[in-house]
Chain A
């Protein structure tokens, strides 16, 4: 099979993996090719509006496992292909020097055995880092069940690694991916976490100590393949951030690819809006100091779809508002719908030279339409009305047809 045909099959098979981030590490070019920028660079966007930053591809789609939600499951009759490590390394370099990509996101089906597969991945990473002296970004998947020593070797070469937990509970995972187990995945995450910490500390003491997964680890959950609630999902997310120090949790709206009694029908469309609300909530947890329990609780186990989670929180907490823009702390400003980290910082910076008045809010980057009900400026309330959650809900709920933000 020629490279073009392999590329077609193995890119197509990798497309459901959502993570494309190439940020979080800077790596200098030390005489070879490439570097990595901590801010991340998108190289293009596909017709579904997702950013392409990394060459996201499978080394092989020839899987011994039989996960129900996956196109590559053993029992599916589909064309199979595998790259040789050399082919994939060459492809990466050629794409990279043309500035098509920021690096490689290497994933793969489990070919023959987890250890065989992990070893083959390491060969690709070695070729790139050692033969080509490639300093661009590499994200490598941890193959569930692979020997911890192999995971360790891969971690010395990759910038980021991920163990995809796929489902928020052991029960759902067992149902859909009988060969995988959540405790085993958590064990891999724990291993990564410990090694990352140990290497960070070593580097503080010895400048030349090796780096280990310097951009941290991430994971992915499939949304909507099982009946798990947003509460379950966001609690799992919170645990992952707190317990394993994950850099990102990705959510992937389930795209039906297999006919299966345990799964939504093939005709079901992916729950894109729900995925979007989960990303917004995740964002609130990472950058706005929100806790999962503030966004969903046992009485409201699912996120509202017609308003975003921050607005939903604000409407449930009228006692918190209005916030006086000229006195509020950064954290308080962040609670206001329509104020984000950037506008909050600008407000605080401008307060050092001049008080902020109502007509300046827009210039500071505040989304006035949303913020007006929740703030005062020098005591003046822009909306000229007292806060009435029901009335505000009527105004803000019919959001313009959902335009998905690009949060990747």
Chain B
């Protein structure tokens, strides 16, 4: 039986519950991308937070807290077969316990670890590659990562930019983290509770205030000036900053020479910038 879920983490865990207590799954797939086939029957599984919670705790207690993190990291990856990798990994984990993570080269462990490294690697890369623009009242960053790493960025920036209000926008998935600044009530609460993820489809990029260009120009100048010509090595640069990330990097948007950006920019008049939606819990 193929189990189909709604794409949520709880949904996935619910399927795993049914895999053990109802009927073994031949596969788990997100409902929205599923291609029905005649060979295996399929069933839509309704997400049940209570059942999901039991699986969540079983992984934590019978395997390890670290394994639970691994499962989550694989879940936010974009690998097409991630649900089945998780199923295999948990299966072995329930047999071996915490030791499962020592078995690096096992076919049920190796692809999971590798995928997790990719996800964590991308999140770590974005801690550096994200660029904020001061929109007048809040900071705004756009990205389009390979994996859904948004949840892994919140704590870092909530601590670093604690006194600012900011939005990190994942354009590919129309999601965003909203952080509403340090107010008196949230100051003592743990970082995690001070930001939240929400659907987000505004396009704020064109609303950048004029004053922001000055800082961007300073940064672009800096970026060009610190490069040493006699060490020019674009191949190495490409390995470090893959081209797909450059679209949102200020320093790679250098205006063509002779282009008078000053006068052109000041001709544009932007609509009022939308305000940050209020905290919705």
CA distance A100 to B219 in the complex (A): 8
Q: Does B36 contact A (CB under 8 A)?
A: no
- Residues of A near B131 (CB, < 8 A) are 98-100
- Given the interface pairs A46-B227, A47-B233, A52-B223, the reply to whether A360 lies near B215 with Cβ below 8 Å is no
B103 x A55 contact (CB < 8 A): no
Our pick among B102, B164, B239, B241 for the contact of A350 (Cβ within 8 Å) is B102
CA distance A353 to B225 in the complex (A): 53
Verify if B38 is at the interface (C-beta below 8 Å from A): no
**Residues of A contacting B226 in the complex (Cβ-Cβ under 8 angstroms):** 11-12, 14-15, 46, 52, 56
Contact of A97 among B106, B161, B218 (CB under 8 A): B161
Partner of A15, one of B102, B110, B156, B225: B225
B90 within 8 A of A: no
Main secondary structure of the interface of B (DSSP, over half): helix
Q: How far is the CA of A19 from the CA of B96 in the complex (A)?
A: 45
Q: Is B128 in contact with A255, judged by CB distance below 8 angstroms?
A: no
Checking A33, A44, A46, A57 against B162 with a beta-carbon cut-off of 8 angstroms, the contacting residue is A33
Q: Measured between alpha carbons, how far is A136 from B156 in the docked complex, in Å? A: 13
Q: How far is the CB of B236 from chain A (nearest CB, A)?
A: 3
Measured CB to CB, the nearest residue on chain B to A11 is: B225
Which of under 10, 10 to 19, 20 to 34, or 35 or more describes the interface residues of B? 35 or more
Interface stretch among B19-27, B59-67, B133-141, B199-207? B133-141
Q: Which of chain A's residues has its CB closest to B130's CB?
A: A99
Give Cα A354–Cα B107 distance, bound, in whole angstroms.
13
Contact indicator per residue, chain A 25-61, by CB within 8 Å of chain B (1) or not (0): 0001101111101010111111111111101110000
Contacts A99-B132, A346-B104, A353-B96: A403 and B222 contacting too (C-beta < 8 A)? no
Are the C-beta atoms of B228 and A255 separated by less than 8 Å?
yes
Tell whether, in the assembled complex, residue B132 and residue A97 are in contact, meaning their CB atoms are under 8 Å apart: yes
| Chain A residues, Cβ within 8 Å of B129 | 43-44
Q: Which residue of A lies closest to B157 (CB)?
A: A99
Assuming the contacts A15-B227, A32-B163, A33-B163, asked whether A4 and B133 have C-beta atoms less than 8 A apart, the reply is no
Known: A48-B231, A97-B164. A364 touches B139 (CB 8 A): no
On chain B, the residues within 8 Å of A356 by CB distance are 105
Does the CB pair B228–A7 fall under 8 Å? no
Whether B230 sits at the interface, judged by CB under 8 Å, is yes
Tell me the bound Cα distance from A50 to B222 in angstroms. Answer: 14
Closest to A275 in B: B231
In the complex with contacts A29-B159, A48-B232, A98-B215, A4-B223 CB distance below 8 A: no
A95 within 8 A of B: yes
Q: Min CB distance, A358 to chain B, in Å?
A: 11
Are the CB atoms of A8 and B127 closer together than 8 Å? no
Asked if B237 is at the interface of the complex by the 8 Å CB criterion, the answer is: yes
Residue from B132, B162, B217 having most chain A Cβ neighbours under 10 A: B162
Tell me the minimal C-beta distance from A144 to chain B in angstroms.
23
Per-residue interface assignment for chain A, residues 271 to 297, with 1 indicating a CB less than 8 Å from any chain B CB and 0 otherwise? 010000000000000000000000000
Q: How far is the CA of A255 from the CA of B232 in the complex (A)?
A: 12
Residues 204-258 of A at the B interface (beta carbon under 8 Å): 253, 255
Known: A33-B162, A270-B230. A47 touches B237 (CB 8 A): yes
A353–B128 alpha-carbon span in the complex (Å): 37
Closest Cβ of chain A to B56, distance in Å, is 25
Whether A48 lies near B237 (C-beta < 8 A) is: yes
Q: Is the CB of B160 within 8 A of A29?
A: yes
Name which residue of chain A comes closest to B132, CB basis. A98
Contact with B along A350-392 (1 / 0, CB 8 A): 1011101000100110000000000000000000000000000
A46 to B103, CA, bound (A): 39
The distance in angstroms between the C-alpha atoms of A353 and B229, with both chains bound, is 51
Query: Is A75 an interface residue when CB atoms closer than 8 A count as contact?
Result: no
Chain B CB within 10 Å, residue with most, of A136, A349, A353: A353
A364-B105 in contact (CB<8A)? yes
Say yes or no: is B250 at the interface (Cβ < 8 Å to chain A).
yes
Complex: A32 Cα to B159 Cα, angstroms = 10
Q: State the A residues within 8 Å of B (CB).
A: 3-4, 7-8, 11-12, 14-16, 28-29, 31-35, 37, 39, 41-53, 55-57, 91, 94-95, 97-100, 102, 136, 253, 255, 269-270, 272, 346, 349-350, 352-354, 356, 360, 363-364, 403-404, 406
Given contacts A15-B228, A363-B110, 5 further A-B contacts (CB under 8 A): A15-B227, A16-B228, A33-B163, A99-B157, A349-B102
Show 18 A/B contacts (Cβ-Cβ < 8 Å), sorted by A: A11-B226, A29-B160, A29-B162, A31-B163, A44-B223, A44-B241, A45-B241, A47-B237, A48-B227, A49-B233, A49-B234, A49-B240, A100-B250, A255-B230, A352-B102, A353-B103, A364-B105, A406-B240
